[in-house]
Structure 1
Amino acid sequence: MIYEIALLPVHKERIEPFRRAFAEVAPLLSRAEGYGGHLLAQGIESPEIFNLIVRWRSLEDHTPGFEASEDHRLFMMGIEEYFSGEPKVFHIEGGNF
């Protein structure tokens, strides 16, 4: 099992619309092959940075799997207009916590 950690910088004035937009596109993520759950959490020290943590069965399920899919394209189209910069994505290996 791996975790994708995406740091999503959102324009401060667009935080609430971003939350609504994410809720609308989240089902595209949830139906991906190898998806095991996710958490979207707003930063405390930096409230304009959202942390998206997604549990995947394998790295391949995320990339190239989901990232190469039409669902990923639609997922990103639904939220990218709210970003104030490029998201940073990395992966870690591990079990449940």
Structure 2
Amino acid sequence: MIYEIALLPVHKERIDMFRHAFAEVAPLLTRAKGYGGHLLAQGIESPEMFNLIVRWASLEDHTPGFEASEDHRLFMIGLEEYFSDEPKVFHIEGGNF
């Protein structure tokens, strides 16, 4: 099991709109092969920084799997206007917590 951790910088004035947009595109993520759940968490010290943590069955399910899919393209199109900078994504191994 692996976790994708995506740091999503959002324009401060668009935080509420981002939350709504994420809820709209989340089904594209949840139907992906190997998807095991996600958490979207807003920063406390930096409320414009969101952390998206997604549990995947394998790294391949996320990349190239989901990242190479049409659903990922649509997922990003639905969110990209809210980003103040390029999201940063990395992966970690681990069990359930």
Q: Same fold (TM over 0.5)?
A: yes
How much does 1:8 deviate? 0.0
User: Which segments of structure 1 move beyond 6 Å, counting only runs of 4 or more?
Assistant: none
RMSD of equivalent CA atoms: 0.2
Distance 1:50 1:90 in 2: 14
For structure 1, the residue ranges without an aligned partner over 5 or more in a row are none
Matched, 1:37 2:37: yes
How much does 1:39 deviate? 0.2
1:53-72 matches, cutoff 5 A: 53-72=53-72
Counterpart secondary structure, 2:20 = helix
How much does 1:22 deviate? 0.2
How much does 1:19 deviate? 0.2
* Percent identity of equivalent pairs: 90
Distance 1:50 1:12 in 2: 11
Q: Given the two structures, how large is their TM-score scaled by the length of structure 2? A: 1.00
How much does 1:96 deviate? 0.5
Counterpart secondary structure, 2:47 = coil
Name the count of aligned residue pairs.
97
The Cα offsets for residues 67-86 of structure 1, whole Å up to 9 and x where unpaired, read as 00000000000001000000
The Cα offsets for residues 18-43 of structure 1, whole Å up to 9 and x where unpaired, read as 00000000000000000000000000
User: Which residue of structure 1 aligns with residue 46 of structure 2?
Assistant: 46
User: Which residue of structure 2 aligns with residue 6 of structure 1?
Assistant: 6
For structure 2, the residue ranges without an aligned partner over 5 or more in a row are none
Distance 1:80 1:29 in 2: 15
Q: Given the two structures, how large is their TM-score scaled by the length of structure 1? A: 1.00
User: Which residue of structure 1 aligns with residue 95 of structure 2?
Assistant: 95
The Cα offsets for residues 51-81 of structure 1, whole Å up to 9 and x where unpaired, read as 0000000000000000000000000000010
